[in-house]
Chains A and B, each alone.
Chain A
Amino acid sequence: MLCDNCKERDAIINLTQVEHDSKVTLHLCEQCAQQKGVETGGAILKTPLGNFLGAVVKGGGTAGALVPASGDGMRCPACGSTLRDFRDSGRLGCDQCYVSFDTHLRDLLRRLHGSSQHVGERYDLPGMGGEAGAGSDADPRSSLLELKAQLRRAVEGENFELAAELRDRIRVLE
């Protein structure tokens, strides 16, 4: 059916109005409906995608903006990129950046994913028996005892978000 107004485009909207006690139904295309002030589904969809996602980060340059500027001067010794570079581009320089900026990134990962603890598939480096990778070389913070001590301190300090995170990490290790 063609639009009652322009008689050119397909009518996609049936607009029913009550005028002087009688009901009038107009079949309108999207453009003409919009001119009459009717909000169409199509029009809403044509606004920039993901607008409603608002604060939710969609990668590609925006994740960095969530990191506070206070650490701007920090530099990754492995690749030479700074936290400022990450804030600008949203991309890290190398795998060691995750170790160099770990405090900032742990916080960011929690905000992005609700957790910073990977619980998916583990990975063994080829040619080595044990698990390895950037920063995994006998990291003392990953030891169970140290984690339990951190958990105790977190509970004492009423930092329950951190405590929950630590509890999850302990569970994984146990």
Chain B
Amino acid sequence: MDLSLLPDGGMRWLDASGPKSTIVLSTRIRLARNVRGVPFSQRAKDADRTAVLERVIEAAAASDHLSAAVTFRLDQMERAERQLLHERHLVSKELAGLERESRPRAGAALLVQDQVGVMVNEEDHLRLHGMWSGFDLEDAYAEVEAVDAELGRLVPFAFHHEFGYLTSCPTNAGTGLRASVLIHLPGLVLTKEINKVLQGLSQVGLTFRGLYGENSEVVGNFFQLSNQTTLGKTEDELIDHLGKIVRQVVEYEEQARDVLLRTAPEEVEDKTWRAYGLLKHARLLSFEETMNLLSGVRLGVGLKLLPGPGVYALNKLLIYTQPAHLAAMDGRSTGDRELPTVRAAFVRRLLEAESS
């Protein structure tokens, strides 16, 4: 696998160029689509899945948006490489076959060009997706919708006059749209307002997940907020609604940070500098500790309590301190016992380069 084929490693969203990017890391849009008349991925035979992949590759080549797409055949890749793509948020755990004792399905693949891509033979035959820097639902949706329109003219999608786009799980039927933002909420966690906010989300038809989507844990105060329902509302309504709520959550987070600065300025300053100091000097770092320390530093940078590092560097650290990335950089296996040492050395190097 050659990730260098991808400009920015398929992660332009890391560059922190988007709106509100100190609080909102990224915006993601995905559309679930299936090929008409072919059994859904879980029920399909290997030959069906391979045929689906061939059709998608053919359609992509004939399209504008994906004509130069790089194709990764997950079913032909080593586990460490699949994990690398997963750590970059380019493929789901299911597609990468990373769940316990699972393997990727035959025909499991990722096509990616610039900021958009298609997962093939995931839970649905096609999962079109795009990831944008910061809080930018409109641009992300416009681009993914354009890919959808193009592919839909070349591949017949399963669509029902009443139920809309048909998906393997009825929770995605209708629009097949999941819009989500990855948001950093340390202020709300520290002021213990977070549970109120999260509970409020479920009452307005939204849901939250951890850093890696469904069933993942919350680490480093990063939350993924997304729409819960996909049917009975238009795509624009779903996106507007999510946007409105996210703006509100960002406001709450900013208020919480103000409260922290007003009521406990020394403690907050101490916490962020302490996190920065540990990252800069620690000799052993677990992934979870790194995430939590990065959260503290990010808060300090957002509040201008710390002079640096830049948000781009912090974003890069989030991705490159994960096991498969460290292992790949250092020619080790992902289970290597020395990864905490390698991680700490990498973090030190990057932070030194930032401050020089």
Contact = CB atoms under 8 A, between A and B. Distances in A.
B165 A123 contact: yes
A68 B210 CA distance: 32
A134 interface: yes
A16 B107 CA distance: 60
A24 interface: no
Contacts of B195: 41, 44-45
Given A116-B162, A126-B152, A126-B153, A52 B234 contact: no
Contacts of A109: 163, 170, 173-174, 231
B161 A133 contact: yes
A146 interface: no
A1 to B, nearest CB: 6
Contact of B202 (A52, A108, A119): A52
Interface stretch (B4-12, B31-39, B327-335): B31-39
B270 A142 contact: no
A53 B202 contact: yes
Contact of A118 (B40, B174, B207, B209): B174
Interface residues of B, number: 64
Interface in B92-110: none
B171 A59 contact: yes
Contacts of B173: 98, 109, 113, 118
A58 interface: yes
Nearest to B34: A95
Interface in A108-141: 108-109, 112-121, 123, 125-126, 131-136, 139
A89 interface: yes
B157 interface: yes
5 contacts: A14-B264, A45-B218, A49-B217, A121-B234, A139-B161
Interface of B: 34, 36-40, 42-43, 123, 145, 152-166, 168-175, 177, 189-190, 192, 194-195, 198-199, 202, 207-210, 214-218, 228-235, 264, 267, 270-271, 274
Closest 8 CB pairs of A and B: A115-B232, A118-B164, A133-B159, A95-B158, A113-B231, A120-B175, A59-B171, A123-B159
Given A99-B160, A118-B232, A139-B161, 14 more contacts: A40-B192, A53-B202, A59-B169, A60-B169, A90-B169, A91-B43, A95-B40, A95-B166, A106-B162, A106-B163, A113-B230, A114-B232, A121-B145, A134-B36
